[in-house]
Amino acid sequence: MVEIDVEELEGSLYRVLSSVVIPRPIAWVSTRSEAGVDNLAPYSFFTVASVDPPVVLFAPVDGPDGLKDTPRNARETGEFVVNLVTEDLVEAMNETAATLPAEESEFDRAGIGRVESTTVAPPRVGGAKAAFECTLRELIDVGGSTLVLGDVQYVHLDESIVDPESGKVDVQDVDAVGRLAGSWYAHVDDRFSLERPP
């Protein structure tokens, strides 16, 4: 076994954590700055925090000057949208990971269409098969990251991922892309089912 004592570690445990905690879903978060610039960036430290009330969270690693555009916009406006990254959008998502000045929009740089949201100002990603419109619940500093919690106010689901009989999302139709580490990603095309014991 390779042993790591975190207190004696020189540098960061980022690569170990991001290589072992896999695959991670990707929150493709759209925000709008107070100046009206639409921002779009992917974050793979992402999950559901609560079902009742519905709350999602993502945790951007802070930039060299503090908050990145996404958490700063969420703090200043109180709104954001989490868009689902599927196989057909993964190249566009990767383009939005580029570091741009705050006054430049990743939507425009990557040629991604905007769709007007229903309850919040930031737009949704055109073609996203699912999107959660959120209002900011809380920002929490955790070391060199900022936990962003959002109350889900409105949900958009493409009909292609919803079973017409049950009205529920069919997980077999959700071709989400997961984040691994470095430049590696994963598909969810190798699914299997296990019945939960009573």
**H or E stretch including 16?**
helix 14-20
- The per-residue pLDDT for 55 is 98
Does 125 score more than 90 pLDDT? Answer: yes
Structure tokens belonging to residue 46? 């992402």
Structure tokens belonging to residue 85? 């990254």
Residue type for 110, please?
A
- DSSP structure string for 66-127: BS-HHHHHHHHHSEEEEEE-BGGGHHHHHHTTS---TTS-HHHHHTPPEE--SSSSSPEETT
51 CB neighbour count, 10 Å cutoff = 8
Q: pLDDT tens digits for 7-46?
A: 888 888 898 999 999 999 999 999 999 999 999 999 999 9
DSSP-derived letter for residue 20 is H
Which residues make beta-bridge pairs with 55? 50, 151
Q: Give the span between the Cα atoms of 76 and 71, in whole angstroms.
A: 9
pTM given for the model? 0.94
Listed in sequence order, the residues at least 6 apart from 1 whose beta carbon sits closer than 8 Å to its beta carbon are none
76, 68 in Cβ contact below 8 A?
no
- Summarize the confidence of residues 105-131 as an average pLDDT: 97
What residue ranges do the domains of the chain occupy?
6-187
Listed in sequence order, the residues at least 6 apart from 29 whose beta carbon sits closer than 8 Å to its beta carbon are 40, 41, 42, 43, 58, 70, 74, 80, 81, 82, 83
Q: pLDDT tens digits for 47-86?
A: 999 999 999 999 999 988 889 999 999 999 999 999 999 9
Listed in sequence order, the residues at least 6 apart from 39 whose beta carbon sits closer than 8 Å to its beta carbon are 30, 31, 32, 33, 69, 70, 73, 102, 105, 106
Of 2.30.110.10, 2.60.15.10, 3.30.56.10, 3.40.720.10, the CATH number of 6-187 is: 2.30.110.10
